[in-house]
């Protein structure tokens, strides 16, 4: 084989091998809904996108999370919306929150805020409190681990009636305010994150009070789709690659069905569709086999579910890293061209 052809073939092979090696890391960029909706499990993978400007489309669930340092830059008091209750939310939602509260009050179904933004640390305290009260397996079915809560996004609100007390003590979804919210919240940009009979896809038990703000346009689209927010965001916006895992024997066990009595604070009690909202009873909603918790200790602790893979470039390819990989690829291609050119000059073409 003439040396030029040989060198050319070698260079091409080198470039191909390099491309193949980089492909898994590059693939997630710009990808959407990489694969089917992941089955419910407990993991610690950084969600993408998660920029503060990506607020309507950032998905957090039992698998995907934001960092401890995630603190929305525009938190303001809910009182700026003229709604009863305390707490902070992102300023982005204030106008729609005000409009919704006014409409609910005008309809005779006043609403207030029970719980709004929660920092990583306060979510940790909330989760730990429930674990202490009901045990970890039960707590996982209704309380997010820190980093995994929509409350940390500053976009989730647990609503209550106004006047009224805690919504966590009964069938709030069947109260006038709860019913009004079910019917109209989406018109103001709010989606009920954890509806009844959907635990297999939301990974949480029914929460009549918990709404996530995504803005009016997206809320209308999600509402019309009939999908839960997790399903919709995953299919249309989430770019994270979530590796499939082979369930270990202990992770295939069903979580205990919560039958805990409602409590007063600091967050919703362990519930299922049947115990909180009679109209939503459906066998299976309360104890989905898909939501089998596998972690029996703190995330990352010995004996817990698979270790966090936050740092995985495949699972969470940072734009800067992507740029670096791109530069490396460019370098390899340049070397390839140089090799070819030297080969050419060597044979005196």
Query: Cβ closer to ligand DAL: 150 or 285?
Result: 150
Residue 44 interacting entry, from ligand DAL, Zn ion, none, C-beta within 5 to 8 Å by type = none
Active site (annotated) includes residue 187? no
Q: What is the DSSP string of 150-200?
A: GGGGT-EEEEEESS---GGGTTGGGSHHHHHHHHHGGGGTEEESS-TT-HH
Among 145, 210, 212, 230, binds Zn ion (CB under 5 A): 210
Exposed e or buried b per residue across 231-252, where buried means at least 16 C-beta atoms within 10 angstroms of its C-beta: bbbbebbbbbbbeeeeeeeebe
Q: Beta 45-46 vs 64-65: how paired, if at all?
A: parallel
Residue 316 interacting entry, from ligand DAL, Zn ion, none, C-beta within 5 to 8 Å by type = none
Return the ∠ at Cα 229 (arms to 226 and 230), rounded to 5°.
Answer: 120
Distance CA 85, CA 117 (A): 12
3-state secondary structure of 76: strand
Residue 144 interacting entry, from ligand DAL, Zn ion, none, C-beta within 5 to 8 Å by type = ligand DAL
Query: Cβ closer to ligand DAL: 109 or 202?
Result: 202
Q: Which member of 207, 231, 267, 277 is catalytic?
A: 207
- Residue 301: CB minimum distance to Zn ion, A: 25
Site string for Zn ion, 217-246 (x = CB under 5 A): ------------------------------
Which of 111, 99, 128 is closest to 209 using CA atoms?
Answer: 111
Distance CA 348, CA 271 (A): 80
- Which tokens go with 147? 């980093």
- Write down how long the chain is: 349
> Which stretch, 84-92, 122-130, 156-164, 248-256, contacts Zn ion (CB under 5 A)?
156-164
Q: Which residues bind ligand DAL (CB under 6 A)?
A: 142-144, 149-151, 204, 207, 210, 268
Query: Cβ closer to Zn ion: 158 or 231?
Result: 158
Total residues at the site for Zn ion (CB under 5 A)?
A: 2
Residue of this chain nearest to Zn ion (CB atom): 210
- Residue 12: CB minimum distance to Zn ion, A: 56
Cα separation values, 208 from 157, 175, 273, 323, 348, Å = 11, 10, 9, 43, 79
Please tell me whether residue 118 binds Zn ion under the rule CB under 5 A: no
- Residue 207: CB minimum distance to ligand DAL, A: 6
> Which stretch, 32-40, 134-142, 151-159, 315-323, contacts Zn ion (CB under 5 A)?
151-159
- Residue 202: CB minimum distance to ligand DAL, A: 9
Query: Cβ closer to Zn ion: 43 or 267?
Result: 267
> Which stretch, 124-132, 154-162, 211-219, 294-302, contacts Zn ion (CB under 5 A)?
154-162
Among 43, 44, 158, 231, binds Zn ion (CB under 5 A): 158
> Which stretch, 153-161, 163-171, 245-253, 324-332, contacts Zn ion (CB under 5 A)?
153-161
- Residue 156: CB minimum distance to Zn ion, A: 5
35 Cβ contact partners less than 8 Å away, ≥ 6 residues apart: 241, 242, 244
Query: Cβ closer to ligand DAL: 136 or 151?
Result: 151
3-state secondary structure of 114: strand
Q: Which residue has the tokens 């390839």?
A: 336
Cis peptide before 163 (omega within 30 of 0): yes
88 Cβ contact partners less than 8 Å away, ≥ 6 residues apart: 75, 76, 77, 78, 116, 117, 154
* Residues forming the active site: 207
Q: Where do contacts with Zn ion occur on this chain (CB under 5 A)?
A: 158, 210
């Amino acid at each position: 084989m003439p040396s030029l052809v040989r060198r050319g073939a070698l260079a091409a092979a080198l470039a191909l091998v390099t491309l193949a090696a980089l492909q898994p890391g590059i693939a997630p960029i710009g990808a959407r809904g990489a694969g089917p909706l992941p089955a419910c499990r407990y993991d610690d993978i950084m969600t993408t996108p998660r920029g503060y400007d990506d607020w309507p489309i950032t998905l957090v669930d039992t698998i995907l999370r934001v960092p401890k340092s995630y603190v929305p830059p525009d938190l303001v008091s809910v009182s700026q919306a003229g709604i009863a209750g305390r707490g902070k939310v992102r300023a982005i939602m204030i106008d729609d929150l005000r409009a919704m509260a006014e409409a609910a009050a005008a309809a005779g179904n006043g609403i207030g805020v029970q719980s709004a933004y929660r920092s990583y640390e306060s979510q940790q305290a909330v989760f730990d409190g429930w674990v202490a009260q009901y045990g970890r397996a039960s707590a996982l079915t209704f309380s997010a681990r820190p980093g995994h809560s929509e409350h940390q996004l500053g976009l989730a609100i647990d609503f209550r009636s106004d006047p009224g007390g805690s919504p966590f003590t009964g069938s709030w979804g069947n109260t006038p305010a709860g019913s009004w919210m079910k019917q109209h919240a989406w018109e103001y940009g709010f989606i009920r994150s954890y509806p009844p009979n959907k635990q297999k896809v939301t990974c949480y038990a029914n929460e009549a009070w918990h709404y996530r703000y995504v803005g009016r346009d997206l809320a209308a689209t999600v509402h019309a789709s009939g999908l839960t927010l997790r399903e919709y965001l995953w299919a249309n916006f989430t770019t994270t690659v979530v590796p499939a895992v082979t369930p270990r024997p202990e992770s295939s066990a069903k979580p205990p069905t919560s039958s805990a009595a409602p409590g007063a604070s600091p967050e919703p009690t362990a519930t299922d569709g049947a115990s909180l909202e009679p109209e939503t009873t459906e066998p299976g909603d309360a104890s989905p086999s898909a939501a089998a918790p596998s972690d029996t200790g703190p995330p990352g602790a010995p004996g817990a579910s698979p270790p966090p893979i936050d740092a995985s470039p495949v699972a969470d390819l940072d734009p800067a890293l992507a740029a670096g990989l791109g530069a490396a690829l460019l370098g390899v291609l340049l070397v390839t061209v140089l090799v070819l050119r030297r080969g050419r000059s060597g044979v005196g073409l």
